[in-house]
């Protein structure tokens, strides 16, 4: 049985940042991904928000809290934005080549949700360069990275982590991995809307008994190309691209509105188009985006407009964490000992009910660093535990996997592709830009039926070696469970706030200024919002 100080699940910026920070602090660190190494979780990120040209962080903090519908944990917002300049500095030192202004410092632009220029980036190479330099930091500090490792179970007892049961698809073996801490950072569950990947980590945590927080909130990518899965960077708007109706009439929207307002404005116009023909010299920073659209769709964005519509970019809800990335269970004073989360898998308190441009990467960087550092400090004082529990869990996991593979060969044929498509249809119709009780209740019935179908999947590949069919089946089952929890959470919030807009409760209700918690059994509860460091609101809803 392998034993590690820390196991990190994921391979995106948050996972890489957490792994490098933990290893730098002296912890033996294993980073494992269900996909091939380097795939990461990098969609729709084109910059990092930082108040580089401001004397204080107050405006950045206040913009974040307002866009979050005052559902942010305000002390955590203050903590995160205070680290923003440091994170930009580190990325630059490690090798990210930021766009620069006349003063020679990283250029900042006024972007969605920001009242001042605050979005720093490197055009469409931003996330690729970030992924690369963070991978280099992991190599520098001795992180062991493994791809094709599918996490199947989080092993614990008494809310204390012992390790993970994982399927190694490169060998076909099922392994028990002992660890003092586990950091979940493999992304959100936006795939239940879009058909893309679903992170398995959040589902693992919920199956271990942890209640997830604020699953009703999602973030929108306003610039998705109609009829495709291509999402254009929102940074195009900051660099001069404009929104119009198909007849050329400008769409009346403030381009610095938060992403929810932009998505609503674009979604209200079925003929919305993006005009990137007059971006001038800034267009060179988006050359790869232009080339992608040309190759995939045959559209020359320098000469033609392109039809757009909003789609789900990422999820905001997830594992409730404190400022150290520790997974909170039920109330702020209780920690699921040894369990951490970062990035899109976590509900860190930074975003609240909606996010603004650049804060997603900021949260991945700062949150990943905090989780890695605290997990390393915890590992230095803790001992490995639960060997017997891991051996028992390994046997149970073997039996469950054999049963699933055998059951897949019997009964009516059900395949993952059509069921994923059905899941997306249910979520887009019931949990889109608006939602109401009737649609949500109907969605619950449909999802329960879909869960039954997902239990009778046919796998074309019956081996364990590089079985992507099995991986997609596991993601589908996890996605259906997360969809059910998300709909239940949305039903419980009888108000409109941020990205959660109810047609039957159109007003914001400050009596519901709290976090929603839902567990895998459907039990609902609440968690209080954390205020400022002094215990008072730093910004109130009527400010």
> Which CATH number describes the domain made up of 392-509?
1.20.58.100
C-alpha distances (whole Å) from 78 to each of 65, 139, 514 are 10, 31, 18
C-alpha to C-alpha distance for 457 and 474, rounded to whole angstroms: 10
C-alpha to C-alpha distance for 459 and 468, rounded to whole angstroms: 10
Alpha carbon 158 to chain centroid, angstroms: 28
At 120 the pLDDT is 94
Structure tokens belonging to residue 293: 């659209």
543 residues of the chain, pLDDT tens digit each? 899 999 999 999 999 999 999 999 999 999 999 988 877 555 557 799 999 999 999 999 999 999 999 999 999 999 999 999 999 999 999 999 999 998 889 999 988 899 999 999 998 889 889 999 999 999 999 999 999 999 999 999 989 999 999 999 999 999 999 999 999 999 999 999 988 789 999 999 999 999 999 999 999 888 999 888 888 988 888 888 999 998 888 888 877 778 888 888 888 888 899 999 989 888 899 999 999 999 999 999 999 999 999 989 899 999 999 999 999 998 898 999 999 999 999 999 999 999 899 999 999 999 999 999 999 999 999 999 999 999 999 999 998 888 777 754 455 667 888 899 999 999 999 999 899 999 999 999 999 999 988 877 878 777 889 988 899 999 999 999 999 999 999 999 999 999 999 999 999 999 999 999 999 999 999 999 998 776 777 787 766
Phi, psi of 11, deg, nearest 5: -150, 20
Q: In the 8-state DSSP scheme, what is residue 431?
A: S
* Termini Cα distance of the chain: 56
The answer to whether 334 touches 346, Cβ cutoff 8 Å, is no
Nearest to 2 by CA among 179, 160, 128: 179
Domain formed by 218-312, architecture: Alpha-Beta Complex (3.90)
- Tokens 């459907």 correspond to 522
Structure tokens belonging to residue 389: 């529990």
Where does the chain hold its CATH 1.20.58.100 domain(s)?
392-509
pTM recorded for the entire structure: 0.95
The answer to whether 376 touches 26, Cβ cutoff 8 Å, is yes
At 93 the pLDDT is 96
* Residue 48 three-state SS: strand
- As a whole number of angstroms, the longest Cα–Cα distance in the chain is 68
* Residue 49 three-state SS: strand
At 323 the pLDDT is 95
pLDDT in tens, 157-213: 989 999 999 999 999 999 999 999 999 999 999 999 988 789 999 999 999 999 999
Q: What angle do CA 346, 18, 383 make, to 5 degrees?
A: 95
At 408 the pLDDT is 47
Q: How many CB atoms lie within 10 A of CB 160?
A: 16
What residue spans of 227-286 are helical by DSSP H? 235-238, 259-267
Q: Where in 93-235 does DSSP place strands (E)? A: 108-109, 119-120, 144-146, 149-157, 160-168, 173-184, 212-213, 218-225
pLDDT in tens, 509-533: 999 999 999 999 999 999 999 987 7
């Amino acid at each position: 049985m392998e034993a590690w100080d820390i196991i990190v699940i994921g391979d995106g910026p948050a996972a890489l940042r957490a792994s490098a920070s933990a290893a730098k602090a002296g912890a033996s660190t294993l980073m494992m991904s269900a996909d091939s190494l380097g795939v990461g979780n990098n969609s729709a990120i084109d910059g990092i928000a930082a108040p580089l040209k401001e004397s204080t962080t107050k405006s950045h903090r206040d913009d974040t809290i307002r866009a979050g519908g005052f559902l942010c944990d305000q002390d955590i917002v203050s903590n995160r934005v205070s680290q923003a300049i440091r994170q930009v500095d580190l990325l630059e030192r490690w090798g990210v080549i930021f766009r620069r202004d006349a003063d020679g410092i990283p250029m900042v632009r006024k972007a969605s949700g920001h009242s001042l220029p605050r979005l720093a980036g490197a055009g469409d190479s931003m996330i690729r360069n970030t992924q690369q330099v963070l991978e280099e930091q992991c190599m520098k500090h001795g992180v062991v990275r493994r791809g094709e490792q599918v996490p199947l179970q989080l092993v614990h007892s008494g809310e204390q982590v012992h390790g993970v049961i994982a399927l190694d698809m490169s060998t076909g073996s099922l392994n028990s991995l002992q660890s003092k801490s586990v950091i979940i950072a493999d992304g959100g569950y936006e795939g239940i809307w879009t058909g893309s990947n679903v992170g398995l980590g959040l589902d693992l945590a919920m199956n271990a008994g942890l209640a997830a927080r604020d699953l009703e909130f999602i973030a929108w990518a306003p610039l998705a190309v109609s009829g495709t899965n291509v999402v254009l960077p929102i940074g195009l708007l900051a660099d001069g691209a404009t929104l119009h109706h198909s007849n050329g009439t400008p769409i009346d929207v403030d381009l610095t509105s938060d992403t929810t307002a932009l998505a609503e404005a674009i979604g209200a116009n079925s003929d919305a188009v993006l005009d990137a023909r007059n971006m001038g010299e800034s267009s060179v920073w988006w050359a790869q985006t232009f080339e992608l659209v040309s190759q995939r769709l045959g559209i020359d964005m320098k000469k033609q407009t392109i039809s757009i519509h909003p789609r789900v970019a990422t999820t905001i809800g997830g594992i409730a964490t404190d400022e150290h990335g520790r997974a909170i269970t039920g109330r702020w004073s209780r920690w699921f000992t040894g369990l951490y989360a970062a990035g899109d898998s976590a509900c860190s308190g930074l975003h609240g009910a909606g996010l603004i441009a650049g804060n997603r990467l900021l949260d991945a960087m700062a949150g990943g660093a905090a989780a890695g550092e605290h997990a390393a400090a915890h590992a230095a004082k803790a001992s490995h535990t639960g060997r017997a529990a891991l051996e028992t869990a390994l046997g149970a996991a073997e039996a469950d996997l054999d049963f699933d593979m055998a059951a897949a060969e019997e009964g009516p044929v059900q395949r993952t592709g059509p069921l994923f498509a059905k899941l997306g249809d249910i979520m887009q119709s019931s949990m889109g830009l608006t939602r109401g009780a009737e649609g949500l209740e109907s969605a619950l019935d449909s999802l329960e039926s879909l869960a039954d179908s997902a239990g009778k999947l046919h796998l074309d590949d019956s081996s364990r070696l590089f079985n992507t069919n099995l991986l997609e089946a596991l993601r589908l089952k996890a996605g259906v469970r997360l969809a059910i929890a998300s709909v239940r959470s949305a039903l419980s919030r009888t108000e409109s706030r941020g990205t959660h807009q109810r047609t039957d409760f159109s007003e914001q209700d400050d009596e519901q200024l709290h976090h929603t918690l839902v567990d895998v059994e459907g039990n609902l509860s609440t968690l209080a919002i954390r205020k400022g460091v002094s215990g008072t609101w730093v910004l109130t809803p009527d400010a």
